[in-house]
């Protein structure tokens, strides 16, 4: 199958009447033509996009892929260990780099969201440079970039909404050539491709997690204390919504450390602590989204648990803003 592309619309026209199997065959041919017999390095986050990208590259280039999981200290609760365990038995080379202290030092004092995203992206690539030097010459860097990443970063000619670390955050002196086989797909199409590649449902159906991780869910300066509070609150939220039947769960749900303090009461004690926001949305393509139509009583129970079980947190609020005018992530 031969497809000549100049944009998303051209791809949709070219694929009209065809199947995801056609897309898979086309991309496998494109990858092999681009890479040949060279090695490829992939940043594996454990999210849907990077996991599908890894499966596709393994299918197209058996024995040529090395996956590097950069643990930047901005993951959700226990997530680093879970990702390592999930891919330990797969037919690919997996390297975990513990770089938590390094990223926190780079982000110290930074409050601007675009600067945070770009610093995380740049440091991410620097880690890759160092790891690739240990592995020998690896000329290609694969990424799970999808079309909404490109559109929101303005790389398709539209206005920049927010830079994605894998689009707007890449340094100009990067030593890799990029391999991005998912960049013309929306999220649900990526999931369809993942199912076609035989990935387990636990990976294919996993809700999205931004490349910069909790770095864009802590508003203002990022500190270890804020990250720990947010991890604990986010785990309670996810535990509460994960109990819903799969068909009733929101498309994406997470907590945000707002960077704002508020007065609260814990027993008879006055506290002045962080405000946590809860976000839960439903969407088909992640280009638009609406607040998930869940009972307020459910959110109330989750908020009660967060406030009681995490003493430092004074208040929990619910974000009901649709996209647009808001974005799904706060930063």
Within the chain, which residues score under 70 in pLDDT? 1-17, 152-174
Closest CA to 73 of 123, 132, 118, 130: 123
- Cα dihedral: 36, 42, 48, 52 (round 10): 20
Residue 16: the pLDDT is 57
Helices 48-60 and 187-196: angle between axes, nearest 10 degrees: 40
- The number of angstroms, rounded, from the C-alpha of 138 to the middle of its chain's C-alpha atoms is 24
Residue 161: the pLDDT is 46
Q: Name, in order, each residue with C-beta under 8 angstroms of 225's C-beta and a sequence gap of 6 or more.
A: none
Residue with tokens 């393509």: 285
Eight-state DSSP code of residue 275: E
Closest CA to 207 of 148, 254, 237, 251: 251
Residue 129: the pLDDT is 81
Ordered by where they begin, the domains of the chain are 8-204 (3.40.50.620), 217-319 (3.30.300.10)
Eight-state DSSP code of residue 322: -
Closest CA to 66 of 85, 88, 96, 42: 42
Q: What is the pTM of this model?
A: 0.75
Cα separation, 161 vs 154, whole angstroms: 7
Q: SS3 for 67-96, per residue?
A: EEEEECCCCCCCHHHHHHHHHCCCCCEEEE
Read off the pLDDT of residues 171-224 as tens digits, 9 standing for 90 and up.
566 678 999 999 989 888 999 999 999 888 878 888 778 889 999 999 999 999
């Amino acid at each position: 199958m031969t497809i000549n592309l100049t944009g998303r619309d051209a791809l949709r026209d070219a694929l009209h009447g065809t199947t995801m199997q056609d897309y898979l065959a086309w991309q496998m041919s494109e990858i092999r033509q681009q890479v040949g017999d060279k090695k490829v390095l992939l940043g594996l986050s454990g999210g849907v996009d990077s996991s599908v990208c890894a499966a596709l590259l393994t299918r197209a280039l058996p024995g040529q892929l090395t996956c590097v999981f950069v643990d930047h200290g901005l993951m959700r609760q226990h997530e680093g260990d879970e990702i390592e365990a999930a891919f330990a038995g797969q037919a690919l080379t997996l390297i975990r780099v513990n770089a938590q202290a390094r990223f926190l030092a780079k982000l110290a004092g930074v409050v601007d969201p675009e600067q945070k995203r770009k610093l995380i992206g740049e440091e991410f690539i620097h880690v890759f440079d160092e790891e690739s030097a240990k592995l020998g010459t690896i000329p290609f860097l694969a990424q799970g970039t999808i079309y909404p990443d490109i559109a929101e970063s303005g790389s398709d000619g539209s206005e920049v909404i927010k830079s994605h670390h894998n689009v707007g955050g890449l340094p100009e002196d990067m030593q890799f050539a990029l391999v991005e086989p998912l960049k013309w797909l929306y999220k649900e199409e990526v999931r369809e491709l993942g199912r076609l590649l035989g990935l387990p449902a636990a990976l294919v159906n996993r809700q999205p997690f931004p490349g910069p991780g909790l770095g864009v869910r802590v508003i203002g300066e990022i500190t270890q204390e804020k990250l720990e509070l947010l991890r604990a609150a986010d785990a309670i939220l996810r535990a509460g919504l994960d109990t819903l039947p799969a068909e009733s769960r929101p498309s994406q749900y997470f907590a945000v450390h707002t960077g704002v303090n508020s007065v609260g009461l814990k027993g008879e004690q006055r506290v002045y602590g962080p405000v946590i926001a809860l976000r839960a949305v439903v969407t088909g393509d992640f280009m638009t989204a609406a607040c998930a139509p869940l009972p307020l009583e459910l959110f109330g129970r989750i908020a009660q648990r967060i406030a009681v079980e995490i003493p430092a947190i004074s208040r929990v609020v619910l974000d009901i803003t649709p996209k647009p005018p808001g974005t799904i992530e706060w930063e």
